[in-house]
A and B are shown apart, each in its own frame.
Chain A
Amino acid sequence: MGTFTGVMPLRAVAFQIMFLLLAIAIEGVILQAQLRIPRKLSMQYAATTNLLATAVGWMVFFIVEPLLAADWRKELIGYVFFGIKTIPVPVVLVGFGMFLGTFLLKLQGAEWLDMILEKAPIEKKTAFDPGKFRGRQRVHADFQLGPSRPLAILWANAASFSAISLLLALRLFVH
């Protein structure tokens, strides 16, 4: 420690800002369509959960990095400083892990956001009136049509991950 060089993570910052904006835009649109909520609300969900996921992701990186074995660190340093020339298996696995991790985090983040904003959950069950006979068909239909937030978040996450992966792959081929 103690040396301070002109090696700056400026590209990381630029890419991160770009990907965050992209992910928020895509996820906002998908959440709006799936959950039938106002655009502003869906953008708020997307922005908050994505920022949360990014910050937590960095924390995980800072915790894991010092624990890496020498060989793995060598690989990691190679990726960070010199980019990748092919798509190695560990990178795919880490990407998949990130997808699952961010999905769970966004799911939980949406819950926390509801709590902080003191919002009732969107899937509010309307009081079921047992006195009225609705028939089996109707109950069944209700159950299926109600917008499921976990599913919407999964779709949104998949879409934004696909878009970012596509851009990264394009960069790999163009470069």
Chain B
Amino acid sequence: MQEFIQDLRKQLTPPQFASWQTLLLMSIFSVFLAGLVQGWVRDLISSCGWIWLILSTWWFVYENKKTMTVSDWFSGPWIVGGLMGGFLVSTVRFVPWSTALILWPPLSAVIAVLPNFIATDNDTKTPKWTKPALSKRQGMLLLTLSHLLIACWFQFYFVLQGWLSDYPSLRADRFDRSAFVVNLGQDENFSRGRDVLRTAEDELRKKFATMSWPEVERWLLEMNREMPKLNTEVQAKLDRQKIRFAENSWWGLKGKVTGGEYDLDLYAVWQGPSSKTTGYTITKSCQVSPNTVMIRTTKPALKNGKPTIVTESKPKVVGKIKCEMPSQPRFEQPDENGVGA
């Protein structure tokens, strides 16, 4: 431990004023200083800290180019580029980290080819701009283009994430046949079919609670006509959710009475892109039964010659719906032979 600290100290002691160690110490000093203040002063000082750190690292990687090179590939520019990205995300707050990640490869490429543009003026011993040597240009070009290509791959990742947040139910499916993506976290629970079914159940519960039992029975008999209406209502409700998913219109709602007195199956059918041409279906089995509730009515009446309000309770038979948990996604269309929509 003692030895390690001694060694570290020796490493970090600037050999001369102009060295990477000086810049690193300035950076560490800035971090301490930034911890003491608030507001824009803090931002300013921490920005300085980042810049010292970037310059120090830049210096360090070029001083130790041999050890940083793994079989012809010099990792230095990537490290410096990554730090620049960190600086952009943490201090320049309007840069989201996706942008910083996409900028990382091109930044690294610029850092890697930059030395070729700089020459030392022989008279004044100062750096000056120069055209890169002819023999270097081909390599520089290939390096820049390949780094641009890597940035495109990063960008493509974010395009995919955009699609998946617009159409999250895609993630419930299998991507085995894709030539583009692999799914490292396939999970059938991502399907929003359950949301669709829950909304439909809520709508039906509200509807049946206000209908008399004969009306409910008629509704169930005329499901062919009633289901599209329910579908529209459910769609409208889904579109009013806090996040309005673009995939809502890719969900279809179907229903079928599967048994007397009344077993009702509700189906959420995925009509978007799928690994099977038919899409998949999530089923929810429900039971509709009569339910007697006391309906309270208030009406004005005359009592002892004075107008008052009397409350009357009378029993009314309405509909009640009880549903089980939704099924797992099944890659088949619901059976349409029964009373369906």
Contact = CB atoms under 8 A, between A and B. Distances in A.
Interface of A: 1-13, 15-16, 44, 47-48, 51-52, 54-55, 58-59, 62, 65, 74-75, 77-78, 80-83, 85, 113, 116-118, 168, 171, 175
B118 to A, nearest CB: 18
A16 B156 CA distance: 13
B145 interface: yes
Given A8-B157, A113-B141, A77 B180 contact: no
Given A58-B149, A62-B155, A3 B179 contact: no
B159 A65 contact: yes
Given A7-B175, A11-B178, A59-B152, A117 B145 contact: no
B277 to A, nearest CB: 7
A80 B157 CA distance: 12
B134 interface: yes
Given A2-B165, A77-B167, A81-B175, A117 B134 contact: yes
Contacts of A80: 160, 163, 178, 180-181
Interface in B129-168: 134, 137-138, 141-142, 145-146, 148-149, 152-153, 155-157, 159-165, 167-168
Contacts of B164: 3, 5, 7
B156 A12 contact: yes
A37 to B, nearest CB: 14
Interface stretch (B267-275, B295-303, B304-312, B317-325): B267-275
Contacts of B156: 9, 12, 58
Contacts of A47: 142
B260 interface: no
Interface of B: 134, 137-138, 141-142, 145-146, 148-149, 152-153, 155-157, 159-165, 167-168, 170-171, 173, 175, 177-185, 250, 272-275, 277
B130 to A, nearest CB: 15
B141 A77 contact: no
B147 to A, nearest CB: 9
Contacts of B170: 77, 81
Query: Chain B CB within 10 Å — which of A4, A52, A81 has the most?
Result: A81
Give the interface SS of chain B, mostly helix, strand, loop or mixed: helix
B161 A15 contact: no
11 contacts: A3-B168, A6-B185, A7-B160, A47-B142, A48-B142, A51-B145, A58-B155, A62-B155, A74-B250, A74-B273, A82-B177
Nearest to B155: A62
Give the interface SS of chain A, mostly helix, strand, loop or mixed: helix
A7 B272 CA distance: 18
A48 B183 contact: no
Given A3-B164, A7-B160, A82 B178 contact: yes
Nearest to A58: B152
B273 A12 contact: no
A1 B183 contact: no
A74 B185 CA distance: 22
B318 to A, nearest CB: 41
B149 to A, nearest CB: 5
Query: Chain B CB within 10 Å — which of A1, A5, A83 has the most?
Result: A5
A7 B184 contact: yes
Contacts of B179: 11-12, 15, 83, 168, 171
Contact of B160 (A9, A48, A82, A85): A9
A59 B159 CA distance: 12
Nearest to A55: B148
